[in-house]
Amino acid sequence: MEAVSACPSFSARDYKSDVKPVWCPGCGDYSVLSSITKAMAELSVPPENVALVSGIGCSSRIPAYTNVFGFHGVHGRALPIATGLKISRPELTVIASGGDGDGFSIGGNHFMHACRRNVDMTYIVMDNEVYGMTKGQASPTTAPDWEKSKLTPEGTGINPFRPLVIALASGANFIARSFSGDPNHSARMIAEAIRHPGFSFVQILSPCVTFRPEQRDWKAGIRQAPVDATTDAARAARRLMTDDGFNIGVLFRGDRKPFQPSMKARVESVRDLEKEFRI
Amino acid sequence: MTARSVSITFAGSGGAGVMTAGNMLLDAAGRAGWHGYMTRSSGAQIRGGEAAAMLRLSTEPVESHDDYFDLLVAIDWQNVGRFSAEIPMTSDGLVLGDPEGGDFPEQISAKGTRRAEIPFKKMSKDIPGGRANMIALGAVAALIGLPEDAVNSVLHEALKKKGAEALTSSEASMRAGMEYAANLPASARLETDGVKAESLWSITGNEAAGLGAVRGGIRFVAAYPITPGTEVLEWLAPNLAKLGGVLVQAEDELASINQIIGASYGGTPSLTATAGPGLALMMESIGLAVASEVPIVVVNVMRGGPSTGIPVKSEQSDLNIALYGLHGDAPHLVLAPNTLADCAFTTQWAVQLAEALQTAAIVLSDQSLGQSRATIEAPADPGFFACRLRPEGPLEGRYRRYLNTPSGVSPMAQPGMKGYQYTADGLEHNEIGTPSSHTVDHSTQLDKRLRKLTAYDYGEHWADIEGEGDIAVVTWGSTTGPVREALARWREAGNQARLVSVRLLSPVQPEKLAAALDGVKRVLIVEQSHGAQFHRYLRAHYDLPGSVRAFHRPGPLPIRPAEVFGQLANWS
């Protein structure tokens, strides 16, 4: 009698490539990369069955640094690429990733509609409240009085975007926040997000040491969310509206059915469709 | 008087049922063994406003409208005058209208056309549930010599779901119209000895494009509604589902183009359909498909531009953006169907080419092909099918997604293939796919992406070439219909001329066009654009022999066969 073979097991290293990141030394995104690979190893999903899709920006360079199937697309469009891929290949584990500018500004419309559509995939946003690749401009999550950008020398004067609130209002099925300075926590959040059916959104605060060196102090402000994740959207809304942005953990778990059209053929061939044209 | 074709317009305010009458007349003609072609024109109003169904029925295949209409039937005269320019008529024609239907428009009476009255309102009041559009249908059928059986069978087919009452009242209305026709002056009639062909289809160009897509193997479509391309998507939605494929309505065109790139990256042949404004939004990502070598097909149903332009009217003015709209050096495929049936053929061919060459294909249909309905011989499946080069055999060393092969086409892996993981990238990259800004990688990949298109053998379908002689008319897309008819008349008048209708617009085929124009002394270029986009394109990429003239005009007025004939006849 043959032994029952165990599930293949993988280590975080199996998900890493040999390409050297373009990121600055000390960038939070190194930790996020490490957390993604750890989460993959925990889920033990074969690298060839994972797709990591991104847009444009510092953090969007991440697919090439992994050993899974990657797609580095155009600015702001990671979610539609991931959506098309996941709907047409539902058996794959699909992750979209990128930064706050990519996801909440140029890609903001897709963010809302991806939450709403609730396709079973995970969206990881490495949020550093700045456009790093273009050398330091205010992003949607930047505070209104940040005056270090040449583009908005007197600050933007615009209240920051609240991604978790928008995600909840738009219908995301799982909402979590983590911090790149706690890579084990991030790995746990990512793994939970992937396991949870439907559209899962994980915001990871990931400091930009070059253009926002003051974000090194985030470590001191980060705290575990004082209460457990809620499944009640109204309670989650109240919490997220009063949240100062530094509570980490799973903040909302929904139970909406993921969007996945059936792909079962009902006709044998295209010829069967042609009958409608006959006079 | 009998004619080879008769042209009829039903007009009236929206809701008067002119499209229903037009569709039924077209189908009835098909059952009688006639061929037909119908375009629709409407005002900008969502509901209401004016509407016109313009038909041409013939005992032979027809691809375009004639120079003049024989019959104009106005159920009422509400704003019908606005269509006046689109309904050319001579004094031989006949205008039928209701004396109670409002003022007879000056623009129509100015044509000097014969007039006669049908009291639609009064007649429909006399019939329980009477319908003016069915009275009009009956009158027209009788005037043009369409057998009553054919009209009856279409009526039964169309109304069987609406119940006995609706059928009875429509039948009575139709018969009343037929009987009333005896009081009307004679109009052009068709020979009635048509034999019903077994294989006739009633289909629109947009439906044909959808059919070509699924015949070619498309199984994922992302959709954002836009006039006049929406019907491609609306036909695909239920039919893809039947085939086990998927159509997703996207939040915008940026999403729809990227969704199909994602699905195609996953291995599923994918397509979207749009019109000018949507195409403009998609351009950046079409460039992504080119650079990352992900096959996609975009069917662009052209309308008047720029900006919102004239959404409901046809124009061939998206040629420039389709050819040149991508930033960077981005070789890609541009194809154009030149008849309604060819929407199926060309879309299907585009699927095969995009998949074989791992690039983006833009199919330039237009409103006059897409939203017209015709009775045509069932188009046979030409057999084009998506066939993507896959890696074969055991992987030796590292997988090189963008391997610089002699053909320029590299084996494309898809997620799930163990050991073949790679990152598709819009950043310039080396053979492995790693981002690179090195000169050698850029030039190697640029060469490869161009070579795979230029080295491919496109065979005979790059253009439709007909006729002989030292005069040639070069055209593309929907203007091929009137050009073909003009050349038939030209030849009947004892002259010779060649037709070259270019189906493959990019990559260009200079040697093939040179051969097609060998010995030609005069070249007439015909297109429907204000800026002579096709003329400039030909001048840029081809050596045209002899003297060259361009006949170009923007939409919405279609190019008529007599105008093309006149260009040739008056060329001294």
Is the pLDDT reported for residue A4 higher than 90?
A: no
pLDDT of residue B449: 98
What is the mean predicted confidence (pLDDT) over A175-201?
A: 98
- What is residue B396's predicted lDDT score, i.e. its pLDDT? 85
Phi/psi of residue B439, each to 5°?
-55, -45
At position B383, the amino acid (one-letter code) is G
CB contact under 8 A, B262 and A81: yes
> At residue B1, does pLDDT exceed 70?
no
Among the residue ranges A58-72, B43-57, B386-400, B555-569, the one predicted with the least confidence is B43-57
Alpha-carbon torsion, ordered B458, B462, B468, B474, to 10 deg: -150
How would you classify residue B369: left for phi > 0, otherwise alpha for psi between -120 and 50, otherwise beta?
A: alpha
pLDDT tens, B439-486? 999 999 999 999 999 999 999 999 999 999 999 999 999 999 999 999
**Identity of the amino acid at B451:** R
**pLDDT tens digits along B191-228:** 766 555 568 899 999 999 999 999 999 999 999 999 99
Which of A33, A71, A268 is the best substitution to test chain B (most B C-beta atoms within 10 A)?
A71
Helices B148-159 and B164-180 cross at an angle (nearest 10°) of 160
* Cα–Cα dist A117/B330, whole Å: 33
The SS3 of residue A230 is: strand
Q: How sure is the predictor about A7, in pLDDT bands with cuts at 50, 70 and 90?
A: low
Q: How confident is the model at residue B6 (pLDDT cuts 50, 70, 90)?
A: very high
Q: Does B276 touch chain A (CB under 8 A)?
A: no
Closest CA to B305 of B528, B515, B126: B528
Closest-CA distance of chain A to residue B225, Å: 16
* pLDDT tens for each residue of A215-259: 999 999 999 999 888 999 999 999 999 999 999 999 999 999 999
Contacts of A73 in chain B (CB under 8 A): 258, 261, 285, 288, 292, 426
Q: Name the residue with tokens 């992987």.
A: B395
Is-contact B224 B255, C-beta < 8 A? yes
Minimal CA–CA distance to A203: which of A276, A104, A273?
A104
Question: Does the structure show a pLDDT above 50 at A1?
Answer: no
Hey, what are B160's tokens? 């069987």
A18, two tokens: 């040999």
pLDDT tens column, B176-190:
999 999 999 998 888
Rounded CA separation B412/B405 (Å): 12
Enumerate the CATH 3.40.920.10 domain ranges in chain B, comma separated.
2-193
DSSP state, residue B378: P
B155-169, B220-234, B322-336: least confidently modelled range: B155-169
Please give the average per-residue pLDDT across B263-291, as a whole number.
98
B73: closest CA among B92, B91, B109, B98? B98
Among the partner residues B258, B424, B425, nearest to A80 by beta-carbon distance: B258
Q: Across the interface, do A77 and B421 touch by the CB < 8 Å criterion?
A: no
- With an 8 Å Cβ cutoff, are A273 and B270 in contact? no
Domain with CATH 3.40.50.920 in chain B: 462-569
Q: For A120-141, what is the mean pLDDT?
A: 98
Alpha helices in B271-389 (DSSP H): 276-292, 319-324, 342-357, 367-370
Tokens (6 digits) for B358: 């791992």
Note the pLDDT tens digit of each residue in B483-535. Answer: 999 999 999 999 999 999 999 999 999 999 999 999 999 999 999 999 999 99
Question: Residue B399 pLDDT more than 90?
Answer: yes
In this predicted structure, what is the pLDDT of residue B4? 82
Each residue of B36-71: pLDDT tens digit?
999 988 776 666 678 899 999 998 889 889 999 999
Residues of chain B with C-beta less than 8 angstroms from the C-beta of A47: 421
Domain B202-377: CATH superfamily, name plus number: Thiamin diphosphate (ThDP)-binding fold, Pyr/PP domains (3.40.50.970)
Q: Which residues of B touch A110 (CB under 8 A)?
A: 251, 254-255
Closest approach of B523 to chain A, Cα-based (Å): 39
Nearest CA in chain A to B26: A279
Q: What is the pLDDT of residues A88-108, one digit of tens each?
A: 999 999 999 999 999 999 999
For the structural domain made of B462-569, what CATH number should be given? 3.40.50.920
Distance separating alpha carbons of residues B387 and B354, to the nearest angstrom: 9
- The mean pLDDT of B340-362, rounded to a whole number, is 98
- Confidence at residue B564, expressed as pLDDT on a 0 to 100 scale: 98
- Residue B504 backbone phi and psi in degrees, to 5: -100, 105
Residue in A224, A86, A249, A80 with CA at minimum distance from that of residue A164: A249
The Cα of B207 is separated from the nearest Cα of chain A by a number of Å equal to 9
pLDDT given for residue A204 in this prediction = 98
8-state DSSP, A12: G
Enumerate the H helices of B216-341 as residue ranges.
Answer: 230-242, 253-265, 276-292, 319-324
Query: pLDDT above 70 covers what percent of chain B?
Result: 98
Say if residue B103's pLDDT is above 60.
yes
Q: CA-to-CA distance for B304 and B289, rounded, in angstroms?
A: 27
Residue B46: what pLDDT? 65
Chain A residues touching B373 at Cβ < 8 A = none
Which residues from chain A sit within 8 angstroms of residue B33, using beta carbons? none
Closest CA to A104 of A133, A84, A129, A87: A129
Which range among B279-283, B337-341, B376-380 shows the weakest confidence by mean pLDDT? B376-380
Give contacts of A80 with chain B, Cβ < 8 Å.
222, 250, 254-259, 262
Q: Which residue has the tokens 């790693």?
A: B434
Q: What's the CA gap between B13 and B4, in Å, rounded?
A: 30
Check: CB of residue A174 under 8 Å from CB of residue A199: yes
Q: What is the mean pLDDT of chain B?
A: 94
Which fold is adopted by the domain B2-193?
A: Pyruvate-ferredoxin Oxidoreductase; domain 3 (3.40.920)
For testing contact with chain A, the best of B201, B240, B259 (most A CBs within 10 A): B259
For domain A27-262, which CATH number applies: 2.170.130.30, 1.10.3720.10, 3.10.20.30, 3.40.50.970?
Answer: 3.40.50.970
Give the Cα separation of B110 and B96 in Å (integer): 15
- Phi and psi, residue B435, nearest 5°: -55, 135
Contacts 24+ apart (CB under 8 A), B529-538: B529/B315, B529/B316, B529/B317, B529/B319, B529/B554, B530/B317, B530/B554, B531/B317, B531/B320, B533/B316, B533/B317, B533/B319, B533/B320, B534/B316, B534/B319, B534/B475, B534/B476, B537/B319, B537/B320, B537/B323, B537/B505, B538/B474
User: How confident is the model at residue B161, as a pLDDT?
Assistant: 85
